[in-house]
């Protein structure tokens, strides 16, 4: 195992501490004390005029550094701009301290939706990747980028990226919490459940769930008003089977203002599903998401909301009914261990199959 240290900006120190706690459980883990201390390796100062400087407290010369950071809603209470600048300064400080390599682990890349190029717009994801790689980042890890094309922004000869399909966490959680055995999968899930995309672009995500559980697929075709952000004009529901009486699971990579899912759930209401639930990796929950989701729940239109903690769970809006948060820190630890031991990523990236998992759940925990 290579010599490495886990560090974090102010945005993800608690999360990074949970990751090092899981690393301690793995056999042959070395430098545990150093890795835990590394969570607070960085010191951030602000000058009177608002400028920032990040310094490294201890030597990292010749070591591989795994740097956790979040530029979205975060435990440090930093705004997007401040969190990004601190991340960039942290990479620069580590590079100047002669770290052997710098791996940035950003569970949710907040600018991932800014990946479209038109004639006169900036591309936030390109800017973010360009700065990180220019400063010396050699590897980026994230969960569930907004689109597959985002990975192509990076030149693999300069910096490698691993986009981990965190929906697998939610698929496993569905099995553990609501299915539990093959009898339920065959007699309840397959005839009575269906997985629904938020829009045509999200069909691939929803189809992955439908294939994993052997259940029907429902596709929502959404028309946007691109003259305004977060605005929906109309939604058409496409399904080979009747939606009436089905337990529907709406699948998406993120919930931001909840405008899309609210419109979809209200469009599904007249079709009389037995219940409607939401599954999403990234819980941004920007206002008025909490208000919208709570209203849907109180009206009996929404039962459960299942998300991961890639966006700081401690800052989630209070009292959203039916909210379930699935932790990702153990998977993050497995990813780090795999990379630092030059192990194969195939087990982490394998396509989930509910039948295989229910018969041998340890297969997905290796």
pLDDT tens for the chain, 366 residues long, are 568 899 999 999 999 999 999 988 876 655 444 555 578 899 999 999 999 999 999 999 999 999 999 999 898 999 999 999 999 999 999 999 999 999 999 999 999 988 888 778 899 999 999 999 999 999 999 999 988 778 888 889 999 999 999 999 999 999 999 999 999 999 999 999 999 998 878 899 999 999 999 999 999 876 655 455 555 556 778 776 889 999 999 999 999 999 989 999 999 999 999 999 999 999 999 999 999 999 999 999 999 999 999 998 777 776 899 999 999 999 999 999 999 989 999 889 889 999 999 988 665 555
Sign of the CA dihedral 111, 9, 20, 327?
negative
What are the b/e assignments for 137-172, b being 16+ CB within 10 Å?
A: bbbbbbbbbbbeebbebbeeeebbbbbbbbbbbbbb
Cα-Cα end-to-end distance for the chain: 17
pLDDT of residue 331: 95
**C-alpha to C-alpha distance for 289 and 318, rounded to whole angstroms:** 12
Residue that the structure tokens 């759930």 belong to: 265
- H helices, E strands: number in the chain: 13, 14
Helix (H), strand (E), coil (C) string for 152-171: HHCCCCCCEEEEECCHHHHH
In whole angstroms, how far apart are CA 235 and each of 194, 231, 238, 264, 336? 18, 12, 10, 7, 41
Distance CA(265)–CA(57), nearest Å, equals 50
Tokens of 188: 């309840």
pLDDT at 33: 45
Decide if 251 contacts 197 (C-beta within 8 A): yes
Tell me the pTM: 0.91
CA distances from 321 to 52, 145, 251, 296 (A): 40, 27, 18, 10
What was the pLDDT predicted at 250?
97
Tokens of 358: 């229910």
Three-state SS at 348: helix
Q: What are phi and psi of 180, to 5 degrees?
A: 75, -30
Distances (CA, A) of 62 to 5, 29, 90, 98, 245: 11, 18, 17, 6, 60
- 80-96 vs 124-135: helix axis angle to the nearest 10? 20
Residue 25: what pLDDT?
82
Cβ(165)–Cβ(130) below 8 Å: no
CA atoms within 13 A on the CB side of 189: 23
DSSP 177: I
């Amino acid at each position: 195992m290579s010599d490495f240290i886990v560090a974090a900006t102010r945005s993800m120190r608690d999360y990074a501490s949970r990751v090092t706690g899981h690393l301690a459980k793995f056999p042959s883990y070395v430098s545990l004390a150093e890795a835990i201390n590394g969570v607070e390796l960085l010191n951030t100062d602000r000058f009177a005029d608002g400028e920032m400087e990040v310094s490294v407290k201890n030597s990292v010369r010749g070591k591989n550094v795994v740097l956790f950071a979040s530029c979205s809603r975060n435990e440090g209470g930093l705004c997007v701009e401040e969190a990004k600048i601190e991340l960039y300064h942290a990479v620069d400080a580590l590079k100047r301290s002669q770290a052997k390599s710098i791996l940035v682990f950003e569970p949710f890349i907040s600018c991932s939706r800014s990946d479209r190029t038109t004639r006169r717009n900036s591309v936030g994801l390109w800017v973010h990747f360009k700065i990180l790689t220019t400063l010396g980042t050699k590897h980026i890890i994230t969960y569930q980028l907004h689109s597959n094309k985002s990975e192509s922004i990076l030149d693999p000869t300069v910096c490698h990226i691993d986009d981990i399909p965190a929906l697998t966490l939610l698929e496993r959680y569905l099995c553990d919490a609501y299915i539990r055995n093959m009898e339920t999968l065959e007699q309840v899930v397959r005839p009575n459940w269906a997985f629904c995309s938020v829009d045509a672009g999200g069909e691939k995500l929803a189809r992955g769930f439908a294939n994993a559980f052997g259940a029907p697929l429902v596709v929502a075709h959404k028309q946007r008003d691109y003259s305004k952000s977060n605005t929906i004009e109309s939604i058409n529901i496409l399904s080979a089977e009747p939606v009436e009486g089905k337990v529907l699971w709406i699948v998406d990579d993120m919930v931001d203002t909840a405008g899309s899912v609210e419109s979809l759930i209200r469009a599904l209401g007249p079709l009389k599903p037995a219940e409607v639930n939401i599954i999403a990796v990234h819980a941004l929950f920007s206002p008025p998401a909490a208000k919208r989701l709570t209203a849907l729940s109180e009206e009996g239109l929404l039962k459960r909301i299942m998300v991961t903690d890639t966006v700081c769970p401690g800052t989630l809006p209070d009292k959203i009914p039916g909210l379930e948060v699935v932790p990702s820190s153990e998977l993050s630890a497995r990813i780090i261990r795999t990379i630092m031991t030059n192990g194969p990523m195939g087990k982490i990236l394998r396509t989930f199959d509910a039948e295989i998992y229910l018969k041998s759940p340890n297969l997905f925990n290796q």
